[in-house]
Structure 1
Amino acid sequence: MTRFEGPDALGHIQSLPSWLVGRVAARGRNLVADAIAEEGLRLPQHAVLAAVAEYGPVAQADLVRRLGFDAKDVVLLLNHLEDAGLAVRRPDPRDRRKNAVTVTSTGLRTLERCAELAERANAELLAPLSEAEGKQLMELLGRVYEA
């Protein structure tokens, strides 16, 4: 019997850094998703709102490129944000055939609350670690990400 048969097969997979990082990422994503749900947002809506706040006024097509989302999905996400009063679409002054999206003051306040909620969720994620260990983990993850 090889080490990939029998009782060690699953243990091997679960000992891989890629598996552990994926599981931790899924837990973190769920914690943040649950937290920002208090503001009535899902993760993709939050990402679009943050991009609009950072780059706006921004053309819808630019949002699609920057976020890597499907164009139809961005339209639906913007519909939700606009219905909630968090963003507005107006004709782009540079090209009236396009819409430019801008975050509203309500949208900015929502982003601030979401940032606080996400910080709390991430603190919960890192709660098993000391402050120094949390900083070290962030440094190590950053190095792996940048490689």
Structure 2
Amino acid sequence: MKKAFDVSDKLFELYHRVHRLLNESMTEEGVSLARSKFLFYLCKLGPCRSTDIADALKFAPRTVTEAIDGLERDRLVVRQPDPDDRRAKIVSITEMGRQALEAAEGPRKQMIGELFATLDDRELDQLHEIVGKLVIKAEDMRAKRKDEISSAAE
């Protein structure tokens, strides 16, 4: 079991180091890693409500609203009335937001390329398979946990 904890600790350490390095590199280009996630999903989803973004990113609606407030203040997104629901707003990425996202993409690709160049193709394939298995198991565990909580609540 100690070995599993050691590997887990290394994975968390890697995640945090890469996250920090990515964030620093992308922020130097004008958009942080967190902000780029919002902009990326707006590009992918197209104009949408903030609740759609919250669902896509699995964030609390309040977190998304605060992030959109900042992005709008910096003119990276714009809110417009929803033609189908006058109480709601549709969020769209602006041209300035697209440019900021594009500028941050270069350092992200460069940093990831440099990091993973440490591994040969066989190692990359193995890592992909191993991490994939862990992701599936974690999702299964989460679903089981949610089922158990639901059953206990009934």
TM-score (norm 2): 0.75
In the alignment, does 2:33 pair up with 1:43? yes
Aligned AA for 1:34?
E
Contact 2:54–2:61 (CA under 8 A) maintained in structure 1: yes
> Which piece of structure 1 moves more, 117-126 or 13-22?
13-22
Alpha carbons of 1:84 and 1:21: their partners in 2 closer, same or farther (altered >3 Å)?
same
Residue ranges of structure 1 left out of the alignment (5+ in a row): 1-11
The alpha carbon displacement at 1:59 in A equals: 0.4
Q: How many residue pairs were aligned?
A: 136
- Quote the residue 1:17 is aligned against: 7
Preserved contact between residue 14 and residue 20 of structure 1 (Cα < 8 Å):
no
Alpha-carbon RMSD: 2.2
| Deviation per residue, 1:67-108 (Å, 9 max, x gap) | 122222212211221122211100112212100001112212
Contact kept, 8 Å, 2:30 with 2:104, in 1: the verdict is no
Aligned positions of 1:1-147 closer than 5 A = 12=2, 16-130=6-120, 132-147=122-137
Mapped to 2, the partners of 1:140 and 1:44 lie a distance apart of 26
Shift of 1:58: 0.6
Whether the 8 Å CA contact 1:56–1:100 is kept in 2: the answer is no
Change (3 A) 1:127 1:15: farther
Taking the aligned partners of 2:58 and 2:100, their CA distance within structure 1 comes to 23
Q: 1:134 to 1:93 in 2, by over 3 A?
A: same
Give the deviation of 1:140 after TM superposition.
Answer: 3.3
1:107-126 deviation per Cα after TM superposition (whole angstroms, max 9, x unaligned): 12222222222111212332
TM-score of the two chains, using structure 1 as the length reference:
0.78
Q: Is the 8 A contact 1:31 1:122 kept in 2?
A: no
SS in 2 for 1:58: coil
**Percent of residue pairs identical:** 29
Q: Quote the offset at 1:135 in angstroms.
A: 4.6
Unaligned runs of 5+ in 2: 138-154
| Aligned partner of residue 87 in structure 2, secondary structure | strand
